[in-house]
Amino acid sequence: MLTMNYTYRIYPDATGQTELRSWLETCRGVYNYALRELKDWIASRKCSVDRCSLEKEYIIPADEPFPSYHRQQNNLPKAKKQFPHLGKVHSQVLQTTIRRLHDTWEAFQKRGHGFPRFKKFGQFKSFVFPQFKNNPINGFTIKLPKIGEVPIDLHRPIPDRFKVKQVRVLSRVRGTQWYVVVTIESSVSVPDVPVHGRAIGIDLGLERFLTASDGSFQKRPQFFKSMQRKLKLLQRRAARKQKGSQNWEKAQIEVARMHHRIANRRKDFHLKTAHQLCDRAPTIFAEDLNVKGLTRGMLRKDCVDAAFRQFLSLTEWVCWKRGVYFAKVNPNGTSQTCPSCFATVSKGLEVREHHCPECGYRTHRDRAAAEMVLDRGLENVVSQGLWGTETACQVGLSGVDDLDKWHGAGIPNREVGKPAL
């Protein structure tokens, strides 16, 4: 089964926006109530066996079962009788809200941190219609259960032989912009993309956003820093307004709209760069960066602005869509190793040129790292037996022995795409 997500902009009228916001707040209340039950049950099991706290204690019977997803879902019809406003929201939307909480709880149990938190006003920004009997998209409208038909900007049609499985409604810019994420599914099976054609390695950085092993590079546009001056002005205006007033809300919307514009510009740049890479080579290798560690250093603002994790994720998606092989390699020591003779060449961040004292190979630091990424990627595909067709490195034979000869002096440098010494 092949599943994809398409995002479209929708344009509900004033009445529709009010109803969508009320649905979000109702889902937020259900989420918080279910989380409260979960936390109370856990807290009631924390006291000692032989004594209780002198201050307070949760009085929950010992035989009370854990508030699982199925138990809380089955309690929704009873809750609707006690709280009639829950009946205004589609029943499956409330069920998926409970499911969302328990997915977060199960993820917390696996990783050991990140306990689910209560959602404040405005923090719950989406809800899901999990299934549709018929296609809800008809021309330029989408029909949502209990909401009705809403105008949609169908900038690309649903592909043939695909069915709409679910629709997620998203709120952006403090509830002034609305989107739908349409999940489509087909029985078509897509095989994995094999290694084929010309291969390149890419290195990500801050001086240059991207440097390829063939010498090409892409400058890093500073999306946040270029708009930071205007954003600071908008935030200052919002801080001077009386909190909760209409002028304060308008100022907050302007700030949110600016953040949304910055994110859209960054994502557009990432997608266009990924497509340019796919036009350049049918096999791409990239570093498996520790993005969380990069966002904790001295250059964290620049790293967050560059959004390396988003770029790698979008590049992987674009490569899969266009039939380009994409793989990540170990990034350790790529800038400290000579790609020509594989000798260790230590250098600090201030040194922007690679000069190997062993073989004399000289090039830009980022290009040397990209060439090293390419070498490791080719080594991985050969060791895994994925070598199918000839690449730009002209290594026609398959096997680890042939790769060892290529790494040594068995094949001249000019035959493997490196400058002759």
pLDDT at 155 (0 to 100): 93
Tens of each residue's pLDDT in the chain, 421 residues? 888 999 999 999 999 999 999 999 999 999 999 999 999 898 887 766 666 666 666 678 778 889 999 999 999 999 999 999 999 999 999 999 999 999 999 999 999 999 999 999 989 999 999 999 899 999 899 999 999 999 999 999 998 889 999 999 999 999 999 999 999 999 888 888 888 888 999 999 888 899 998 888 889 889 998 999 999 999 999 999 999 999 999 999 999 999 999 999 999 999 999 999 999 999 999 998 888 888 887 888 888 999 999 999 999 999 999 999 999 998 888 888 888 888 888 888 888 888 888 888 888 888 988 999 999 898 888 887 766 544 443 333 223 333 333 333 333 333 333 333 3
Number of Cβ within 10 Å of residue 80's Cβ equals 16
Parse the chain into domains and list their residue ranges. Answer: 2-38+62-186, 199-415
User: What pLDDT score does 56 carry?
Assistant: 65
The 8-class DSSP code of residue 12 comes to -
SS3 205: coil
Q: How far is CA 401 from the centre of its chain?
A: 39
Note every long-range contact of 117-124, with CB atoms under 8 Å and residues 24 or more positions apart, other chains counting.
118/32, 118/35, 118/36, 119/28, 119/31, 119/32, 121/25, 121/28, 122/174, 122/175, 123/28, 124/24, 124/25, 124/27, 124/28, 124/31
What is the model's pLDDT at position 387? 62
Which pLDDT score is estimated for 415? 34
Instruction: Give pTM, 2 decimals.
Output: 0.83
Q: What pLDDT, on the 0 to 100 scale, is given for residue 241?
A: 96
Task: Provide the pLDDT for residue 24.
Answer: 96
